[in-house]
Structure formats: structure tokens, C-alpha cells
Amino acid sequence: MVTFWDSLDHLLQPDEALARVRDWLAPGGSVLIRVRNASWHYRVRRVQSLLRKIGLLRSRRYVGVIHRYGFTRKSLEQLLLKEGFHEISWQPADFTPNDRYGWVNSLKVKNALLKSYSLIARALFRLTDGRLYLFSSLLVSARVKSMEKSEN
């Protein structure tokens, strides 16, 4: 198994990285990827902007982190399929403990609220058979297609 933990979206050519990993893995080998969920972060930024406009949020603190790619479930799944992976499986991805980017703390969100949000998001994920994905990060595993394994 090879993991990309909060890193694939920072690479210059994530497609080439996945192609190389595919070639390294034995037939049936797997990759585990966690990246930020661009769809979720876009919506949060819109809500923050609205809250600032109506005076309910004063903090403008944002730690800028360069993400070369903003993956959504659809774009990451398309990339994995293009690079020869299959059996793509999405899992719930809770908030990162000790949020290193500081955006959760900038909202002054309490741990109890985050835990409640995660519980609700997990329940909706299960109730919709994974169709509703309300997590700040994408967490996905996929396997190498045995018949497309490179001979390199």
C-alpha cells in the first residue's frame, strides 16, 4: 500500500505520481489518498464571506497554503480511473486534530460542535450509501487493475 496523506494536491503532476505508484504496486495493490475536499472548502468560504457581510464573523484570519489542485470527489475519481486504478472506495474523513492551518480555530468552533458535525456527516454518508459526502477532506482507497500492471 502507498499513501498520499494531504500531499497529492501539492504536487506539480499528480497524474504522473499516481502512474508511477501504479507501476510500483503489485497486482491488486492499493493506494490510500487523503486530500482537502475542494467542494466543501469552497462552500465554507462562501458562508464565511456571507457571515462577514452581515457582521456575524469578524475574523479574516486565513493561513494561505498552496494547493496546486483542488480535488472534488468526481475529479479525483476520474484521475484514479485514468491512471489504471479501480475498486475506488470512499471513507468518512473527520477533521484533522490540531488543525495545522488554523481555519477551524479562527472560527472559534468548539470541539463538541466539530464532533457533532462529524457524527451527522457520518450518518448522512451511511444513509445515502456514500452519495452525500460532507467532510472537509476526501479519503479514498483504490486498487491497481491487475491486467494493466506495467511490466517496468
Residue 126: give its domain's CATH number: 3.40.50.150
Residue percentage of the chain with pLDDT more than 90: 48
DSSP state at residue 96: P
**Average pLDDT in the chain:** 84
Rounded distance, CA 53 to CA 95, Å?
26
DSSP state at residue 94: P
Find cell 498552496 and name the residue.
66
Do residues 28 and 144 make contact, with C-beta atoms less than 8 angstroms apart?
A: yes
- All 3 cell numbers of residue 125? 454518508
Enclosing domain of residue 90: 2-148
Rounded distance, CA 51 to CA 86, Å?
41
Q: Quick: pLDDT tens for 24-59.
A: 999 999 999 999 898 888 888 788 788 888 887 776
Domain tally for the chain? 1
- Tell me the pTM: 0.80
Find cell 487493475 and name the residue.
145
* Residue 101 pLDDT: 53
Rounded distance, CA 108 to CA 36, Å?
20
26: helix, strand or coil: coil
